[in-house]
Structure 1
């Protein structure tokens, strides 16, 4: 891989943002039949952050996370060449990356959305890496943001306990090949099982116009998930993806300093680490505080770990996202200060 790239790429800075409103398990027990003990035992989640009924939006969260990343390295937004917004809950079905570009003043940047739910941030990182390593761009802002509270059925106990809202950002920058921090990746999709986790579109009754023209319309509904099947998929396929990526790089699991998985469920995190024979003390997790924030979960946890000085220079980190699609994606990075 190193010999075929024109230049290296590394993560220069990260940032994150969450809403102020905290919804703990006791609050949810007043909405559906559940309890703090039931939720914690099955998911590891104690609370989550939710956008309230003010005018806040996914763009507010994404722009705040981006601004925090830019501030850490004193970078002018006009230095950003490209913005990739990984989200499955945009402000506009045509895309929201352009709104983010305008909000932060990155007027010289191309901007587009990437939709891959919980795998979105990793796929966006891989996409950004290609643009940098082939010499197309120098500075790329990658943002994972979701507000799944807008698409949650709050009467469905199996899903409403899981999801929270958040945004996380990373600035990817070109560097000399010998300082490359993006070591490799592995991407997978199984569209045959897309119904296991989806936000389905449902048709309304047929509507007629001008007597002859008939157009069927409808709307997207709430999150639907087959929890047992998603669990089986994650614990079986994610370790395989990680090992394929590590094997291609000739890196052993014993060489890995940190394992950062999509923050879906504590039992999934533990099961994947166990299958890889990676000690649980190498797991980076903030699931208990934020729940499943979809495309935001990995950059949110990464930013927190960096702020806490958990990750240090030259640490090797395996990052893996998995979820709707079904998609799963692994990237291996080496942290460069």
Structure 2
């Protein structure tokens, strides 16, 4: 028995937000003081570091679970399964359903339950629940689905990563330009087909790192102090990721027994292009190799950082031939990897 992705789907919001759309924002330092550079220069430096030219925001009349339902329907259709045969629906997110122009996160019932309702699944033995694991949430949910299947507790699982980060950003914080919205979904099944999940690695670093990402007040001291937004210590996250993600990926690859020369693609969570490039370069240096050209497909330039949705969306775009110059074929070995709030790190070695 092998455990494979038998179908995938994604939802990419139609609302495009370019860097020029931030031209009128009043960006401030953490202490509330003004920057000594114009927004044009801020945007220019932002692109140099992150690679992000534009991002997608959910329409005003949509919430997180709406996007998840759309992505889930596509994954179910691609897999050809009867949704009534699903044993688990596991939905990774961070902030629940947040309606436009509100400050409340709505997580009761769970977003997974809302997806089950939206799919009109009647089977009560289809268990639906959410996980909160930062940006690596979708990969962690896949690891959980694999565990259920290995233990004989499930045969088919729907695993989703969906988030509307645009609803929790501080418009006075430059980091708000990184975040975006989206959803990616996959069907994970037990199958007699060759390949599937070969190994996984997962860890939580919290002794010093727990608050590298957190909820904090607006940088504008005139804003309501009771409203808080997503905040991060970017330099600390960068240094942490460079130190720990390559080692986790290498450990995962070693467990799989697959030589590094057989790896076709690395699908890594994308929050910062330069950081991702540095992670991949350091990973290959562990094997005393140069980084192969084209090993790391990128979607961040047009889609930004959609947190838990980034990796499954990237996978879906590639397998459906929707990412220019990228493809995956049966038998190809890929690595999924992510890092995010917690600080959490995980990786999966997967054979198509």
Instruction: Report the CA distance between 1:248 and its aligned residue.
Output: 1.9
Matched position secondary structure for 1:118: coil
Distance change (3 Å), C-alpha of 1:102 and 1:269: same
The match for 2:129 is 112
Q: Where do 1:211-250 residues align within 5 Å?
A: 221-250=228-257
Find out whether 1:297 has 2:310 as its counterpart: yes
Larger helix fraction of residues: 1
Q: Tell me how far apart the structure 2 counterparts of residues 34 and 100 of structure 1 sit (CA, whole Å).
A: 40
Q: Tell me how far apart the structure 2 counterparts of residues 180 and 133 of structure 1 sit (CA, whole Å).
A: 15
Matched position secondary structure for 2:210: helix
Find out whether 1:93 has 2:107 as its counterpart: yes
Q: Tell me how far apart the structure 2 counterparts of residues 219 and 14 of structure 1 sit (CA, whole Å).
A: 39
Is the 2:213–2:232 contact (alpha carbons within 8 Å) kept by the matching residues of 1?
yes
Is the 2:6–2:78 contact (alpha carbons within 8 Å) kept by the matching residues of 1?
no
Distance change (3 Å), C-alpha of 1:220 and 1:311: farther
Instruction: Report the CA distance between 1:161 and its aligned residue.
Output: 0.9
Is the 1:168–1:303 contact (alpha carbons within 8 Å) kept by the matching residues of 2?
yes
> Deviations 1:270-303 (Å, cap 9, x if unpaired)?
1111112232411121110111100000001010
Q: Tell me how far apart the structure 2 counterparts of residues 105 and 199 of structure 1 sit (CA, whole Å).
A: 35
Distance change (3 Å), C-alpha of 1:296 and 1:256: same
Matched position secondary structure for 2:46: helix
Aligned residues: 311
Matched position secondary structure for 1:282: coil
Is the 1:140–1:171 contact (alpha carbons within 8 Å) kept by the matching residues of 2?
yes
Structure 2 residue aligned with 1:286, among 296, 299, 302? 299
Q: Tell me how far apart the structure 2 counterparts of residues 126 and 200 of structure 1 sit (CA, whole Å).
A: 31
The match for 1:174 is 190
Is the 2:8–2:79 contact (alpha carbons within 8 Å) kept by the matching residues of 1?
no
Instruction: Report the CA distance between 1:319 and its aligned residue.
Output: 0.6
Distance change (3 Å), C-alpha of 1:290 and 1:81: same
> Deviations 1:205-252 (Å, cap 9, x if unpaired)?
xxxxxxxxxxxxx96720110110111111111000001111122222
Matched position secondary structure for 2:136: helix
Find out whether 1:27 has 2:21 as its counterpart: yes
Q: Cα RMSD between the aligned structures?
A: 1.8
Q: Tell me how far apart the structure 2 counterparts of residues 251 and 73 of structure 1 sit (CA, whole Å).
A: 27
Matched position secondary structure for 1:117: coil
Structure 1, unmatched stretches of 5+, are 1-6, 202-217
The match for 2:3 is 9
